[in-house]
Amino acid sequence: MATPLTDQEKRKQISIRGIVGVENVAELKKGFNRHLHFTLVKDRNIATPRDYYFALAHTVRDHLVGRWIRTQQFYYEADPKRVYYLSLEFYMGRTLQNTMINLGLQNACDEAIYQVKGRGTRLHSHRSHNQQPSVHKTHLGLDMEDLEEMEEDAGLGNGGLGRLAACFLDSMATLGLAAYGYGIRYEYGIFNQKIRDGWQVEEADDWLRHGNPWEKARPEYMLPVHFYGRVEETKEGSKWVDTQVVLAMPYDTPIPGYMNNTVNTMRLWSARAPNDFNLRDFNVGDYIQAVLDRNLAENISRVLYPNDNFFEGKELRLKQEYFVVAATLQDIIRRFKTTKKGTAGRTSFESFPDKVAIQLNDTHPAMAIPELMRIFVDIEKLDWDTAWDLTKRTFAYTNHTVLPEALERWPVELLETLLPRHLQIIYQINQNHLDRIAALFPEDMDKLRRMSLIEEDGCKRVNMAHLCIVGSHAVNGVAEIHSNIIKTDVFRDFSELEPEKFQNKTNGITPRRWLLLCNPGLAELIAEVIGEDYVKELSQLEKLNDFVDDAAFIRDVSKVKQDNKLKFAQFLEKEYKVKINPSSIFDVHVKRIHEYKRQVLNCLHIIAMYNRIKKNPNAPFVPRTMIIGGKAAPGYHMAKMIIKLITSVADVVNNDPVVGDKLKVIFLENYRVSLAEKVIPATDLSEQISTAGTEASGTGNMKFMLNGALTIGTMDGANVEMAEEAGEENLFIFGMRVEDVAAMDKKGYDAMVYYNSIPELKQVMDQIKSGFFTTYCQWQICLNDEAVHKNIHSRFIVKKNPKEWTKMVIKNIAATGKFSSDRTITEYATEVWGVEPTDLKIPAPNEPREAIEETARALKKM
């Protein structure tokens, strides 16, 4: 068994949260006071807690700026191949603490804030694993955690897809890739969820109302985006004329890598109306109405569309999708042409795919394919075949869903009105594609129909997934099981035609946010026994297997978990006015509310446990706190009914004196990134119970695993690979496999068979139907999995010996190395984008003076 590090070895290490240096603290204090006075124009007599947050945020950002400028200078000088990650969602959450950690400033900032207008020093972190969070206050009446709580979540995403994009940006910067994230700066992010009388009510997420200290507007790079109009054929080729113009204003956010001086850029576009918008109305005297009409153009970036996994072809959504790709491609081509090499810049596009890699995060940015073709053919005057070759070698596509109803299919009629030239290009792409298929399969008309980009049944539509596959050189799923499904089922014809194009890239999470930030106690404990290198090389966690039987380590892991549970219990009591038993099992199910994610299945089990307690109150029962959270899309009635069922069951269970502390049910209102950072470290049992074959991957499952929760789940998404890594015996796996679901679909499914044959299940369903908990509604759920779900819960209750449980926890943590987003991005880089991680070594600037001197020279290069 490996020997833990000695005290001397530990002292030699630099804390994973950064050294508290006297010079660092003094510099931070000076910056804090400077920004409070000169940026916020406040003194301490009138400054609010939010002012102190902004002063600290600006101070930390100062330490980013030199690295940010130096990084862009370095890319300009070295001219590496650049990676562009196009996504309609970036679910960033909060930025302050993540930035402090990646810059190694966390402990120094803690100490600086403590010393501001204070007396004396405190040269230890109040975030150590062996104590509760400090109650030390500054003489301003605040501590660091209070300031961190002032920050609004940047909720520019619905869930997994947007959060994955955020993790990928962190990993690309940490690995030293010359990478950029491109998306939309939504004025209103994912709605704030309120629960009133058990029902979800949506409120606007006005996340920018206090300003955003992390972004920098770049009006000098504002670009025009065209809509509507008509196509005019000339001798020189096709021209898109008589268009309406909307301006795209870029806002840049720095993305720091972990302890490597790299700071990449996320550029988000905001829609602006041009100054001559509706000038004709000006001329006829309706000046006021013309100004008011500017809102119509600016609505494009007004609000994030909620995701209900059901595609609706709304014009505003298509405008958003084209808006981001049109602005982004102009920006990419500008950067490509203004390379340092050659005083005149590049004039040939021959090397475009050697310098540009564009990753499409699902089909939302798919219009980038015909848009790049339009630029190459109509503007740059390349011939079609050359343009198509360059386009295919540039793009790669990630698929995120196998649900047919979620796949984007835009009506031809809408495209013809909004983007007429692009529809022509799509038709030409499709014609060339079908000509190739017909040559290979001359008599197979059905294959032509299945593989066409244009669906002819009913309303003619463009299948955007087909467009992405045809127009990309690589296509990937996001977990082994998902990638196999898209190859053998959803896109089988395409996979058989070009098998080399299809790959798997199992999703991952960044350990910086999802361990160091949210669970510092566990992060420090791990560092004590295996060192700190695991933060950038998560596979090193496998060394923890050497400590599975170490009594001291088992005790420490258990204590960290219990401390996290106590802290979360205090949070629940404060925010939800519910007192729970911190010694109970925290059984957590947090994700978007959707039928396929099967919150109803969990709810049925809660009712069954309630009935067992009521039937025999004195029987042995391991206390359980059931925690469920997630948002339902505003238009998704069934998902809202599921929330109502859960809250109604909670009302009954939580107020039953017979049940007492044995069982509590909590619905977490307004689940979001910052709330996930609180609940995940406190979780004992993670519910990952989607029907096999419906969840593409999941990343929440990985976050729970890394933070020491055991998983109860189906063999779906990344659960399959988690079981492979940790050993199926260290997860609680239940239910049908993909092949079982397929067999059941073929045979036919009769819920009444299970209803009539399982008395406990029948009782639960009858209670719901009778209105015992709430108004009855019919949910779609696979009842044959419900019986197995209850059985597996009984199994782990029997097995819950604290020591053996913690040993399973350690084995799970040790097996999470594969699920780092660093590993995922390394695979994308080498196998899709053709770039090498860590091939750029960016020197550290002298903060902050030397950086200021470089600013003027560098701005033109960004």
CB 422 within 8 A of CB 375: no
Based on the residue annotation, tell me whether 591 is a catalytic residue of this protein: yes
163, 703, 789, 823: the catalytic one is 703
CA pair distance 379, 330, nearest whole angstrom: 11
Based on the residue annotation, tell me whether 597 is a catalytic residue of this protein: yes
Q: What are the angstrom distances between the C-alpha of 384 and each of 360, 370, 433, 438?
A: 22, 12, 13, 20
699, 714, 806, 824: the catalytic one is 699
- Is residue 684 left, alpha or beta, with left meaning phi > 0 and alpha meaning psi from -120 to 50? alpha
Q: Give which of 446, 450, 457 is closest to 495, Cα–Cα.
A: 450
Q: Give which of 765, 106, 696, 735 is closest to 361, Cα–Cα.
A: 696
Q: Determine the 3-state secondary structure of 324 from DSSP.
A: helix
CA pair distance 9, 120, nearest whole angstrom: 29
Count CB-CB contacts under 10 A for residue 493: 17
CA pair distance 536, 338, nearest whole angstrom: 33
Which helix (H) or strand (E) covers residue 109, if one does? helix 106-115
Based on the residue annotation, tell me whether 543 is a catalytic residue of this protein: no
Based on the residue annotation, tell me whether 99 is a catalytic residue of this protein: no
Count CB-CB contacts under 10 A for residue 407: 18
> What secondary structure, in 3-state letters, does 154-196 show?
EEECCCHHHHHHHHHHHHHHHCCCCEEEEEECCCECCCEEEEE
Here the tokens at position 660 are 């007492």
CA pair distance 855, 67, nearest whole angstrom: 11
CA pair distance 820, 191, nearest whole angstrom: 29
Count CB-CB contacts under 10 A for residue 19: 12
CA pair distance 834, 82, nearest whole angstrom: 10
364, 592, 624, 793: the catalytic one is 592
Which helix (H) or strand (E) covers residue 475, if one does? strand 474-477
Q: For the chain, how big is the Rg over CA atoms in Å?
A: 28
Q: Residue 499, preceding bond cis, omega within 30 degrees? A: no
CA pair distance 140, 117, nearest whole angstrom: 7
Based on the residue annotation, tell me whether 235 is a catalytic residue of this protein: no
Q: Determine the 3-state secondary structure of 202 from DSSP.
A: strand
Here the tokens at position 367 are 């219009």
Based on the residue annotation, tell me whether 400 is a catalytic residue of this protein: yes
CB 483 within 8 A of CB 476: yes
CA pair distance 758, 700, nearest whole angstrom: 32
CB 272 within 8 A of CB 298: yes
CA pair distance 830, 654, nearest whole angstrom: 53
DSSP one-letter string for 774-824: S--------HHHHHHHHHHHHHHHHH--HHHHHHHHHHHHHTGGGGBHHHH
Q: Give which of 627, 647, 628 is closest to 584, Cα–Cα.
A: 627
**Beta bridge pairs of residue 666:** 627
Taken in order 133, 137, 141, 147, is the CA torsion positive or negative? negative
70, 400, 422, 461: the catalytic one is 400
Tell the residue number behind the tokens 């396929």, with chain if given: 596
CA pair distance 130, 560, nearest whole angstrom: 8
Q: Alpha-carbon dihedral of residues 856, 859, 861, 862, nearest 10 degrees? A: 160
Q: What is the DSSP letter of 542?
A: G
591, 598, 640, 664: the catalytic one is 591
CB 785 within 8 A of CB 694: no
CA pair distance 583, 178, nearest whole angstrom: 47
CB 686 within 8 A of CB 718: no
Tell the residue number behind the tokens 């038993």, with chain if given: 581
| Residues recognised as catalytic | 400, 591-592, 597, 699, 703
